[in-house]
Structure 1
């Protein structure tokens, strides 16, 4: 059996690091790929043996193709992402294109560059989508891109299943990461206020996302492909405060 290799884009960030740490449990080498090479190198150093940082710009096809020399690929996690325009009113053609390029086109470019490597290993793709792809929670361009990512996931699953390749998506709700620091500085209660909308009374941690990725990429999910797993502490199931208002009972 050859080396089990995983690539995680956006590997310098909190979610990417957590995913990398989880995948290292059953992979021989985890590549933390990121535009921020210094950040990826810090993450790889902190995580220890079995991690390697590599530069990649997922919006650039040639940069993605640079990872194709690594050999058969067991797991590809398209995690790189960010959001810009908070509303349609604030979204410009330029910010729309920027959101789409990073959050949607990047997943396609990475898969396109590494598809043959995934086929060689009968590997697995896990795309990090978002609950924003299911409903309106702000950031419309990001949300539209994540909805597209879910369909891309299904397309890979259906077309490449005959090669033994599986493709699934994870859709996190609000995740407590450094990306929230500016908003938390403006409103120290932002996490508490957000948690009130979640059935579990808390928001998602990077490790929650990582555990879902680890499951979907593992043999435990050998018969699962083409699904999008919400890791959202119950947000898409329903909102307790709204159920309480409608039912006029404190049972919610």
Structure 2
């Protein structure tokens, strides 16, 4: 049985200054876990955002959150969602936030029903916020197309109960990285721990016959995030439009 997930977006206003000493995904995760009573129920969390950009700081360069219109986003399973909803706004008040707006979207993945016979290639872009891919426990700090595909399908299988290995293998062998405009940064995640993550815009090409499968991956990536450490705000992505190219892969 496919289980739906809940993508929650909260617009917050600070009622008192909140010191920020690390990657704001860590703070967002602490807030959400306090609201739902633990890690159970949390699928992924977005870093705290202001004007469409993630907030970040470090012990060597601290900052303070005291602006209006801070966005907190998270994806939760059914248990986590109802716990969050029942605990608002009290749990946020303890962090110095007041809820301005609360939006929720229930998401249920839909598998593609057909594969076209097209030999054309399609091009698509993905805007990465700080992301950490891994292969056999080693960090992969660039937008690997195979890590994108496998990390999404792995998360889909884990959180929905779907068996998707065949889909993952098929798409992973039919997508390639065309270019990347980005960098690698160092992020403090507390207790003197730091991790490296990449961010920026990647352009990919894929075989057009698998466009519906690719659309599922792009949709799921926005809900589940990609790569490692999704529970502390890494791996958030914003896919661009899919464009058809001339020629074939």
RCO higher in 1 or 2 (8 Å CA, sep ≥ 6)? 2
Which category describes the TM-score, using the shorter chain as reference length? under 0.3
TM-score, L = length of structure 2: 0.25
Give 1 or 2: higher helix fraction: 1
TM-score, L = length of structure 1: 0.25
